[in-house]
Structure 1
Amino acid sequence: MHLTILGASGATGQQLIQQALDRGHTVTAVARNPDSLPATGHDDQLSRVRADVRDTDALGRALKDATTIISALGIPSRDQVGVLTAGARGAVAAAPERIIWMGAFGTGASADAAGALTRTLLRAMGAELTDKVTADTTILDAGGVVFHCGPLSAGPLSEHRRTVDLSQAPHRLFPARVSRATVAAAMLDAAETPDLRGGTYVPLDR
């Protein structure tokens, strides 16, 4: 399978790249600075493409032949609010067969599952929250799959990892942390499951 990964130079994006290559897939890694991507041991299976998701033309060229897009985009700084919405609109405009998107637990579709305290704390994000919700909605409206993750950690891939839908999401005072490795594995599992179409899911370490 060929996968196109947005936000490839971030910590979760790098997990996606390495795990995808280890699974035998080929990858196009899209990043503002693809030269910063480390060696993978499978560089013959990896193409690096330079594009800023806020540059509509550049993103369109990067995604022109994409069949499966996986996004690990985040908001690097407050002056880059809007990057998620721009990326989501670009991904949908490319009309791939599948889009798999990383979002945040407690926002949008998972707000009720997260509980009142988390919802209250997340409101302080202001425009960042709006960006996240708008991007998720754009992907869901196009039939894509969205993963709502708790706070991300640098921990290892959990041998007890699982993915649940919102009806099975654990109700805690605060969302459970989840490793970036586990999130990447869950998103790749989704890419490898052709009949998984649409909806919001939650990756968990246990």
Structure 2
Amino acid sequence: MLNSVLGMHLTILAASGRTGLALTRQALERGHTVTAIARDPQRIALDHSNLSKVAGDVSDPASIAVDADTVVLSGLGTDRAGVLLDGAKAVVAAGPRRIIWLGTYGTGPSADAAGEGAAVLWKFFGDRIPDKVAADTAVLAAGGTVFHAGVLTDDPLAPGRTVGLDAAPPFDLGAKVSRETVAAAMLDEAENPRFPGAVALPLAG
């Protein structure tokens, strides 16, 4: 992977969260330079010469430090409605080289592929689903890649594979994938784009 060898500049949103930390740590291990953004940068429990920690909140677009030569990877969660769309708008407006966004399998573009089982998501996310869909739509329209992951775990990195919606399996709460595996798939996409402007599914095994 040429880009991986040379190193890239990556900006990671929500870098203090569980997925964001996995993205940040793995990116540094791959030799990239990382700007890690979090509401409280002190919670980014990593130190590295290639790591810059920056305070930022997606509800305040001016606080999101993104330049045109960076690839943005988002580990944003859904702790409150509006967060994802705020984040997507802020990042798209900043005009980075590429955006790799984390979404949820069974929502928006992947709802049909997921089948009837995806209806259970409304029990977990409720009124936050429209926010997810709107954020995904904004990122896709900007040519970014949206990773629709299933149930996430804190298990270690394991072999995985990434497929498009044409190869998506039915939604299954038992088909879990680790955040470490999802982070690796998102970084693979940043280094070697396979799904620009499309939804991709990170799967275990």
CA drift of 1:58 comes to: 1.4
The 3-state SS of whatever aligns with 1:96 is coil
Q: Distance in 1 between matches of 2:193 and 2:152?
A: 26
> 2:68–2:95: 8 Å Cα contact kept in structure 1?
no
Distance 1:138 1:172, change over 3 A: closer
Runs of at least 5 residues in structure 2 that lack an aligned partner in the other structure: 1-7
Distance 1:145 1:97, change over 3 A: same
Superposition pairs for residues 50-129 of structure 1, below 5 Å? 50-59=55-64, 62-65=65-68, 67-76=70-79, 80-118=80-118, 120-124=119-123, 125-129=125-129
CA drift of 1:89 comes to: 0.3
CA drift of 1:75 comes to: 1.5
Superposition pairs for residues 1-206 of structure 1, below 5 Å? 1-40=8-47, 43-59=48-64, 62-65=65-68, 67-76=70-79, 80-118=80-118, 120-124=119-123, 125-159=125-159, 161-174=160-173, 176-194=175-193, 196-206=195-205
Distance 1:194 1:52, change over 3 A: same
Q: Distance in 1 between matches of 2:174 and 2:71?
A: 29
How large is the RMSD of aligned CA atoms in angstroms?
A: 1.5
Q: Which moved further from structure 2: 4-13 or 164-173?
A: 164-173
Name the TM-score, length of structure 2 as normaliser.
0.91
Q: Deviations 1:89-140 (Å, cap 9, x if unpaired)? A: 001001111000000000001101111132x222343320011001000000
Q: Distance in 2 between matches of 1:164 and 1:175?
A: 18
Q: Which moved further from structure 2: 175-184 or 23-32?
A: 175-184
Q: Distance in 2 between matches of 1:192 and 1:64?
A: 18
Counterpart residue type for residue 135 of structure 1 = A
The 3-state SS of whatever aligns with 1:99 is strand
Distance 1:85 1:173, change over 3 A: same
> 1:101–1:145: 8 Å Cα contact kept in structure 2?
yes
Runs of at least 5 residues in structure 1 that lack an aligned partner in the other structure: none
Q: Distance in 1 between matches of 2:117 and 2:183?
A: 27
> 1:114–1:171: 8 Å Cα contact kept in structure 2?
yes
Distance 1:35 1:65, change over 3 A: farther
Distance 1:200 1:134, change over 3 A: same
The 3-state SS of whatever aligns with 2:49 is helix
The 3-state SS of whatever aligns with 1:44 is coil
Identity of aligned residues (%): 52
Counterpart residue type for residue 109 of structure 1 = P
Counterpart residue type for residue 81 of structure 1 = A
Q: Distance in 1 between matches of 2:143 and 2:41?
A: 29
The 3-state SS of whatever aligns with 2:188 is helix
The 3-state SS of whatever aligns with 1:106 is coil
Q: Which moved further from structure 2: 136-145 or 170-179?
A: 170-179
Tell me the number of residue pairs that the alignment of Structure 1 and Structure 2 aligns: 197
